[in-house]
Amino acid sequence: MGSLDTRRGWLTWWDGKFRSLALDVAVALSAAFFVDRVERVSLTGADEERRLVLLGVLVVVALALLVRRRFPWLAVAASAGAVLTPTTAATGIFTPIAMYTIARRRGPGAQLWTATEIVFAANGTQLIWGPHGPLWDSPLRALPYIAYTVMLSASPVLLGLWLRQREKLLAALQERAEQAERERDLLAERAVATERRRIAREMHDVIAHRCSVISLQAGALSVSAPDERTGEVAEVIRKTSATALTELRSMLRVLRDDDAEHRGETPDDPTVGSIEALVADSIESGANIRLDMPEQLPETSGEVGRAAYRVVQEALTNAAKHAPHSAVRVEVAAEGEELVVAVSNQRGRSTDTDAVPGSGYGLIGMRERVTLAGGTLRTGWAEDGGYRVRAMFPLGDEVAA
């Protein structure tokens, strides 16, 4: 990690990108090599002193071009100095690179104008005192050199300014897109929160009221029951409605809780161990259920525990609606790295009085819960003619005692 931070530290001179460093190395070496080839031909037969001057100029300008992104003024000064050296005009190739860099990095302003004046002053001095003699004595000879100088300075400046403006425009568009996305997410979260509160209000006003009425009437019936069996059934109804109210309150807290960290899990949430109490309540109400559950329950996450409990709850409800009074078997076991929950029931004989209206979303909701918990669900008719629901959830390595 430290070496990565160090590399990014020295790469900041090249915008933190290795490819920018490689490009600047290639530009510096290519320009220096080109000038060296041209100058060697033009300086054929020249003294050793001028060759050493050329070598020094190439080294200085190449280093300046290498760090031009960090120090654009160094590239401008080096290119202007190269023009003033007692060599041929091939060193003018450094000028467009330096002018492009200052325009790209500094933009329009006093620095760009100053750099342009320095470059033109250097080229003007070369025009007057260059190795080809005072070109100002012959305007026709000076015009091509002037046009060449203007072209080498103006074109890279315009290119650098255009790329700088394009970069700013793209950055502004990206920022606007990110801001629009953030606003869209905020609006979506606000709409979800509003809908959650609306659902919570409806559930409280409708379901909670109905369950409270059922609980009160069942409690009154259990007190004034004409016989013992009626009192027991009324007490079961009262306990079931009271449990439903408790679970409903937990659900309402989840719907109204705006804190995403606490949303989804409450102290009253059911677990795998709660399946035993669920089956006991169903047996107390007259259901014929057999439970196979190990004494040592596997440790599961809250999401898996809730999903397993709801699978058993929905399967028992479906068995009571579609196959009343039939034998039901509930199996909870750990098989390898999976928690397996299975509920099977035999075919029942239902009558019109046994029919209970359903929503039609029981199996859909069951499958969604299992999928969100990372498990798989299989439902369908078994070979013995009964109906079977089997859910498998991933387990951790630890097992709770």
Residues 33-44 have pLDDT tens digits of 776 666 665 555
Rg (CA), the chain: 42
What are the structure tokens assigned to 214, written together? 């059922």
Backbone angles phi, psi at 141, to 5 degrees: -75, -30
State the DSSP H helix or E strand holding residue 343, giving kind and residue range, or none if neither.
strand 338-345
Q: Strands 338-345 and 289-292, how do they pair?
A: unpaired
pLDDT in tens, 375-389: 999 988 887 778 899
* pLDDT, mean of residues 52-68: 77
Type of residue at 339: L
Of 145-149, 176-180, 242-246, the poorest mean pLDDT is in 145-149
Mean pLDDT of the chain: 77
pLDDT above 70 (res 45): no
At residue 135 the predicted structure's pLDDT band, cuts being 50, 70 and 90, is: low
* Residue 340, helix vs strand vs coil: strand
Q: pLDDT by residue (tens digit) across 191-242?
A: 888 888 888 777 777 777 777 778 888 888 887 888 888 887 888 788 888 8
Residue 47 above 80 pLDDT? no
E strand or H helix at 342, and its extent?
strand 338-345
Rounded CA separation 347/358 (Å): 18
pLDDT at 163 over 80: yes
Q: What is the pLDDT of residue 260?
A: 45
CA angle, 259 then 241 then 355, to 5°: 115
**pLDDT attached to residue 398:** 43
Place of tokens 């300008």: 61
Q: How many C-beta atoms lie closer than 10 Å to residue 35's C-beta?
A: 23
121, pLDDT greater than 80: no
Residue 114 has pLDDT above 80, yes or no: yes
CA 103 to CA 378: how far, in whole Å?
67
Q: What is the pLDDT of residue 399?
A: 39
pTM of the model: 0.49
Task: Say how far apart CA 305 and CA 369 lie, in whole Å.
Answer: 11
